[in-house]
Amino acid sequence: MIQLTCSRLSSYRIVTATCPWGRLLALVLLTGGLSVQAQGIDQTQKKIESAQQSMPLLPTSELPAQAVESNINTAKQKPNFFNRTSNWLSSRNLPGDLQIHGFASQGYITTSDNDVFGNSNNGGSFGLTEAGLNISVRPLPKLQLSAQVLSRRAGKGNSGMPRLDYAILDYQLYSYDANQYGIRVGRLKNPFGFYNETRDVAHTRPSILLPQSIYFDRTRNLGLSGDSVQLYGETAIGNFGTFSTQFGVWWPIVNDRDTEVSLIGRDPRVPSDIGNQPIGQLNREASYIGRGIFETNDKRLRLGISGIWLNTSYDPRNGLKDPISAGSLQFTPIYFSAQYNAERWSITSEYAIRHFKYDNTFGPMVLNNADFFGESYYVQGEYRFTPKWEGFIRYDVLYADRSDRNGNKFAKEFGVAPHSRFAKDITVGLRWNVTPEFMLRAEYHRVNGTGWLSRLDNPTATEGPMSQHWDLYAIQASYRF
């Protein structure tokens, strides 16, 4: 199973005419009532499984969300298909340490304005569905093979078509005591931040929506995984803790609609005045990625730094009047991560400085020779009321250009809404671990700005301008085996 290491407040009016706190409470009570009716079972005590049991095993540190899981009340469950399948798999003497795990989650999102993962602004949307099945086998003591197929339905950018999420060959080159080093080859999860590698599995992330300033959903396929060769290592640092690192060369996945719209400002698949032919495409080019994380022996303090050097280029269709000329883009973000875990509470914060550099042959004035730095950060507090109930609060900030934080300069020059260049999000939420396998969540977002919204789900040409101040309510049910 994979073990992957995982401000100033603006003036907000949290209370709206629709009473978001009441709506959030109603959502929690609704999901709780449905779950209680579905359970109908006696409670007993047992130790929760590690969240990594839903992933293949690779040697690195724990995810922060997993490091703080403790004993919770679980249930003596009635036989059903999922339980029988899970029990059968766990009881078999499968060859080569074969492990099979999976997960599924379904969300419901409604917004006061703008659309998130479907038509959420008009009666709500069940447009967020995630499901995955993974398998790992260790044919040799130092060799492990693992793969996962993922289906994700999330707005117009993710249709739910199953795809290969990762396929990894992991060979351990050296191992002695707390020190181990190895190499991984294949389609690998991109190592940056605390949550990126296991963001698909709802149990291993702190909320339904991760902080969008760091973990963009609109460029999720680009950020999640890529074809890569990486070296990794973990070593003890005296009696202080351990230091783990991953770095390597990476060919990013850039051929999806949300990524293309985000990086070049338009969708090459949409026909224009040149006919029904697609316009052009982004190309995969050799890029580089790496991360280092220090963790104390008691798991209380975790510090990390991650870096990406992403290279891509745009090829217009030959012989067609493509409004975008051939050009190249370098995207070089650096991420700083910190987390402190106590018995009942945790504080997590991540900060990113994101450098975009377009060369001077890109064509459109908005991209031609563009060179700017974006800035992102969030601060998050989690509290564990009981082993079953957790709550969190988060303040998340995104600036597309740190030298033009309110977007006024960009808006004046290119005629777009200033709020499309930033987003400030206050989020509160609850998590209920009904059983080790089944979890319910609810959360509320009060957002100022539209900087991280998908342009595919919010086409201004057909639906009009987006609203600067808006609310988001979400609930989610998640299962793993």
Residue 322 lies in a domain: yes
Q: How many domains does the chain have?
A: 1
Residue 154 C-alpha from the chain's centroid: 12
pLDDT digits (tens, 9 = 90+) for 49-67: 333 333 334 433 333 433 3
1, 192, 409 from 134: Cα distances, Å: 9, 21, 47
**∠ CA 29-79-27, rounded to 5°:** 10
> Which residues lie below 8 Å from residue 326, measured CB to CB, with a gap of 6+?
313, 314, 315, 316, 361
pLDDT digits (tens, 9 = 90+) for 212-249: 999 999 888 888 899 999 999 999 998 899 999 999 99
Residue 267 lies in a domain: yes
Beta carbons of 426 and 212 less than 8 angstroms apart: no
Closest by CA position to 98, among listed 137, 56, 154: 137
Name the DSSP class of 205: S
User: What is the rounded average pLDDT of the residues 278-298?
Assistant: 89
User: What is the rounded average pLDDT of the residues 266-285?
Assistant: 58
Residue 1 lies in a domain: no
DSSP 63-107: PHHHHT---EEEE-PPP-HHHHHHHHHHHS--GGG-EEEEEEEEE
State the chain's mean pLDDT as an integer: 81
pLDDT of residue 266: 60
In terms of Cβ atoms closer than 10 Å to its own Cβ (0-12, 13-18, 19+), residue 474 is buried
Residue 48 lies in a domain: yes
**∠ CA 264-268-270, rounded to 5°:** 130
For the chain, the straight-line distance linking the first and the last C-alpha, in angstroms and rounded, comes to 13
Whole-number Å distance between alpha carbons of 25 and 33: 12
In CATH, what number is assigned to the domain containing residue 471? 2.40.160.10
Residue 172 lies in a domain: yes
Domain coverage including residue 228: 20-480
Residue 21 has pLDDT above 60, yes or no: no
In which band, very low, low, confident or very high, does the pLDDT at 94 lie, cut at 50, 70 and 90? low
- 0.95 exceeded by the pTM? no
Closest by CA position to 116, among listed 476, 478, 472, 475: 472
Residue 11 lies in a domain: no
Residue 411 lies in a domain: yes
pLDDT of residue 261: 78
DSSP bridge pairs for 428: 393, 444
Residue 223 lies in a domain: yes
Q: 3-state DSSP call for residue 290?
A: strand
Whole-number Å distance between alpha carbons of 192 and 203: 19
User: What is the rounded average pLDDT of the residues 195-211?
Assistant: 93
pLDDT digits (tens, 9 = 90+) for 347-359: 999 999 999 998 8
